[in-house]
């Protein structure tokens, strides 16, 4: 059987779930995958909104911890679907129906997010996970049946996911503070399932370019949450009387969005996926990228509240809620690209300088105000992008000349 496509069986509504060709040309995201991503807009928006309110009410530590917990659930659900689809998307009726059920689970998870922030009640989030994981287990069992060469790997995935999910259900009955310990252990178990499963049999045929594109698409969705924060700043600048500070905040926020977009889509990441270990490290590390980008949207909302004097925190803390997420994105991407980029295109020293300047701009909020502090951050990031592109082009040219 050829692995380039999934051949159509006698039943037109069913296609054999054969392994996709990892070298297939023009492997792009499908409309179903794009629709699936949209279901995560609601969950990400609710998580960011809850953290925004927590920080603005001067409850930063519990708010950030709750956000990290919730965002892991969102990101891991998306990642499970994405890597499976990269290897086994046959796009027939059963596949689409099971994907629809997973989307329903995402929405249930989103409804349960406020309870996690309020008193670490993960019950509804776990219910949403059950709704998502049952069809995912069925997908893996179907892959095991229709792709005999990788049956052991697929069954290991199914068993691992099912076992960890049962443990998540049990965690809802564990009292505090042991629930926190149990949560960390189950996170480790979740991360370990793909590593163990891929080592048990013949590896799945994930597609490097497809994975890179899927991560890029989710990055765009998360950046959309940041644009919402910029929109709120603009609305405040014009709806309640013109404010130079809010206008500066909006311009700065837009520069930050565009700067992060530029940094992320410099390209070439998927070309470095030489092994599964490298690809998984890159994929797992994106938890920090996605979480920080979404947190930037919450930070901009906090900055707007502080500028309008409705937040219960000072201007410096509000500005740092913008600067720190941007710094985390830069640090995380720089670290991930050490394993997928050539030496000539990396510049950790520049990243370190940018992080220092961004935090410094946040600390200046007590002097220049929140809005102009955010504007300064945007200018710093824009200058950093220009500097990086200039230095990288010179290094590549010098390397080509030596060769």
Q: What is the pTM of this model?
A: 0.91
How much is the average pLDDT of 72-87? 95
The whole-number pLDDT of residue 400 equals 56
User: Could you give all domains of the chain from N- to C-terminal order, each with its CATH number?
Assistant: 31-200 (no CATH), 208-402 (1.20.1410)
Please check the confidence at residue 371 and state whether its pLDDT lies above 60: yes
Of the candidates 220, 216, 211, 215, the one whose C-alpha atom is nearest the C-alpha of residue 41 is: 220
Please check the confidence at residue 175 and state whether its pLDDT lies above 90: no
Please check the confidence at residue 5 and state whether its pLDDT lies above 50: no
Q: Mind listing the pLDDT tens digit for each residue in 11-24?
A: 558 888 988 888 88
Please check the confidence at residue 1 and state whether its pLDDT lies above 50: no
The whole-number pLDDT of residue 396 equals 64
Q: How many residues does the chain have?
A: 403
How much is the average pLDDT of 58-85? 94
The whole-number pLDDT of residue 77 equals 94
Q: Mind listing the pLDDT tens digit for each residue in 99-149?
A: 999 999 999 999 999 999 988 888 999 999 999 999 999 999 999 999 999
Residues 6+ apart with CB under 8 A from 389: none
Q: Mind listing the pLDDT tens digit for each residue in 279-295?
A: 999 999 999 999 999 99
Q: Mind listing the pLDDT tens digit for each residue in 223-258?
A: 988 888 778 777 776 776 778 888 899 899 999 999
d(CA 77, CA 159): 16
Q: Mind listing the pLDDT tens digit for each residue in 40-54?
A: 988 999 999 999 999
pLDDT band at residue 403, thresholds of 50, 70 and 90?
A: low
| 3-state SS string for 36-64 | HHHHHHHHHHHHHHHHHHHHHCCCHHHHH
* Least confident range of 96-100, 324-328, 340-344: 340-344
The whole-number pLDDT of residue 18 equals 87
| 3-state SS string for 148-211 | HHHHHHHHHHHHHHHHHHHHHHHHCCCCCCHHHHHHHHHHHHHHHHHHHHHHHCCCCCCCHHHH
d(CA 99, CA 236): 40
> Tokens representing 325?
């997420």
The whole-number pLDDT of residue 237 equals 65
d(CA 377, CA 119): 34
Phi, psi for residue 25 in degrees, rounded to 5: -80, 150
Q: Mind listing the pLDDT tens digit for each residue in 145-169?
A: 999 999 999 999 999 999 999 999 9
Q: How many CA atoms lie within 13 A of 282 on its CB side?
A: 24
């Amino acid at each position: 059987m050829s692995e380039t496509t999934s051949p159509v069986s006698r039943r037109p509504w069913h296609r054999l779930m054969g392994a996709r060709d990892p070298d297939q040309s023009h492997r792009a995201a499908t409309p179903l995958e794009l629709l699936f991503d949209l279901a995560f807009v609601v969950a990400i928006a609710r998580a960011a909104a809850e953290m925004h309110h927590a920080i603005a009410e001067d409850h930063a530590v519990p708010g950030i911890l709750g956000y990290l917990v919730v965002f892991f659930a969102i990101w891991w659900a998306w990642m499970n679907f994405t890597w499976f689809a990269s290897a086994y998307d046959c796009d027939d009726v059963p596949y689409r129906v099971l994907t629809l059920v997973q989307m329903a689970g995402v929405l249930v998870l989103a409804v349960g997010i406020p309870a996690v922030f309020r008193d670490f009640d993960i019950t509804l989030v776990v219910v949403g996970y059950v709704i998502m994981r049952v069809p995912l287990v069925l997908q893996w069992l179907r892959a095991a049946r229709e792709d005999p060469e990788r049956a052991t790997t697929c069954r290991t995935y199914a068993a691992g996911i099912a076992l960890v999910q049962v443990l998540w259900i049990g965690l809802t009955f564990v009292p505090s503070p042991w629930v926190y310990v149990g949560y960390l252990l189950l996170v480790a178990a979740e991360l370990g399932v793909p590593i163990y499963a891929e080592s048990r049999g013949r590896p799945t045929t994930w597609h490097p370019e497809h994975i890179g594109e899927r991560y890029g698409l989710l990055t765009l969705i998360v950046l959309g949450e940041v644009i919402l924060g910029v929109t709120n700043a603009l609305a405040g600048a014009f709806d309640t009387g013109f404010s130079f500070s809010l206008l500066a905040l909006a311009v700065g926020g837009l520069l930050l969005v565009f700067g992060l977009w530029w940094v992320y889509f410099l390209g070439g990441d998927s070309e470095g996926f030489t092994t599964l270990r490298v690809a998984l490290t890159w994929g797992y590390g994106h938890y920090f990228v996605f979480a920080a980008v979404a947190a930037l949207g919450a930070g901009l909302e906090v900055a707007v509240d502080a500028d309008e004097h409705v937040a219960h925190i000072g201007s410096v803390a509000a500005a740092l809620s913008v600067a720190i997420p941007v710094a985390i994105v830069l640090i995380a991407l720089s670290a991930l690209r050490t394993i997928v980029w050539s030496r000539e295109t990396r510049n950790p020293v520049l990243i370190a300088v940018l992080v220092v300047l961004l935090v410094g701009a946040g600390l200046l909020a007590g002097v220049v105000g929140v809005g102009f502090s955010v504007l300064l951050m945007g200018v710093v990031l824009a200058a950093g992008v220009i500097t990086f592109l200039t230095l990288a082009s010179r290094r590549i040219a010098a390397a080509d000349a030596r060769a």
